[in-house]
Chain A
Amino acid sequence: MSGGAHLAAKVAGMLLSIGAILFMWHTMPGYVEITAPFVTRGDAGEWVHTRTFGVRVDKSYLSRTLRQTSFGRSEERTTSGVWVIVKVDALAVHEPSMIGAFALQTEDGRRYQHTERVRLSRKVGLLGRELQPEMPVAALLVFEVPEDVVANLMLIAGEREIPHLTSEAHISLRWQSSNPLTSIRDTLDLGS
């Protein structure tokens, strides 16, 4: 082989390697995709089982104000939007587990995480509550969202707030009427 052809082959080989590296660099999935949660989808009213927990959406309610008694004092919580209260049943699969993160997701992907402005006791809420296998418990989840997103909301229940490689259930909420805004209550009492 002549010297020129040898050099040309070397250059071509180098360009090919650089091209391959650039291609891999640009098509490699990012950290978020590699560690994405394992999502199980389902509908309201049916049990949705992930690897570690199961959840069933029962009913959802809308309210302008929430009332709660804490330490013997009645507290009212208002919102610039509307309160969404989701009644669910939950259980563990195989071994005791917890559901540590809840959010409502809008159609365009905005996530409204559960509120901490009302503190539900462990008998009523799900945070910090250990679930047992095959022992469903009822619970309330509370969110605040702008009024204009209420019609299309999806509940996202996951093991942890940081969802890398965890299980997540995605369940669309269902409303009784076609325009749920007509069924907003003025006040809803969450008890104590």
Chain B
Amino acid sequence: MQTSSAAAPGTSSLTPGAAIDAGQWRVKPLRARISTEHPLRRASTRNSYLLVDVEFTNLMQRSSRDFAFVVTLDQPELARLGEPSIVLVRDMALPDRLHPRMPETLMLVWQLPTDVTLPPELHLSILGKTFKAADNLVGSPGWFNPAPVAHVALSLSAP
């Protein structure tokens, strides 16, 4: 598997199915595919969707739903896809908080505009936040400043 050429210094390249500890989460990108069906919507022949499966494990001491920022699309031509909706694969429903040390697969879903042609390989960044024991406002602990920690290339398969 070829790794992303866009890997910035200080970040590592992941192979699909390998996990990396990115601060709050252990992140394992699994697969990417294109589908005509949205897992939460009624079937329609007009739309198509980009689906990316990623396994998340909460490494914090608390249940948390701070996972929406973690996986982003790298390729500039895909920037206009915007933010994905997130589905908990176990329930095929909107996700709840993820609990410490209980891995779950989340599906990221981007609706594809009709005039977008997808590249054969999808380049993703995995972002992690940094823990601060005392923030600058009141001095309470928290996770801040998301920054890329790894890159991964997933081949895109049709349904």
Query: Quick check: is A31 within 8 A (CB to CB) of the other chain?
Result: yes
Q: Please, how many angstroms separate the alpha-carbon atoms of A113 and B134 in the complex?
A: 23
A30, A32, A109, A144: which contacts B99 (Cβ < 8 A)? A144
Residue A117 lies at the interface, judged by CB distance under 8 Å to chain B: yes
**What separation, in Å, do the CA atoms of A111 and B134 have in the docked complex?**
20
Interfacial residues of chain B within 97-114, with CB under 8 A of chain A in the complex:
97, 99-104
Does A81 count as interface, using CB distance less than 8 angstroms?
A: yes
With A110-B61, A111-B62, A146-B102 as contacts: A30 and B90 at CB distance below 8 Å = no
Q: Identify the B interface with A (CB < 8 A).
A: 61-63, 88, 90-91, 93, 96-97, 99-104, 134, 138-141
A interface: dominant SS: loop
- In the bound complex, CA of A146 to CA of B93 (Å): 21
* Interchain CB contact under 8 A, B141 and A113: no
CB distance from B64 to the nearest CB of A (A): 9
Contact B96 A115 (CB under 8 A): yes
Is there an interface contact between A116 and B138, defined as CB atoms closer than 8 Å? no
Chain A's closest residue to B88 (CB) is A117
- Which A residue sits closest to B62, measured CB to CB? A111
Q: How far is the CB of B128 from chain A (nearest CB, A)?
A: 20
Known A30-B140, A32-B141; judge A146-B97 contact (CB<8 A): no
* Chain B residues closer than 8 Å to A113, beta-carbon distance: 62-63, 97, 99
> Residues 71-115 of chain A: 1 if any B CB is under 8 Å from the residue's CB, otherwise 0?
000000111110000000000000000000001000001111101
Nearest chain B CB to A79 CB, angstrom units = 8
- In contact, B138 and A103 (Cβ under 8 angstroms): no
Q: Which of A4-42 contact B (CB under 8 A)?
A: 30-32
Contact A110 B100, beta carbon cutoff 8 Å = yes
Residues in A with CB closer than 8 Å to B140 are 30-32
Q: Is the CB of B96 within 8 A of A117?
A: yes
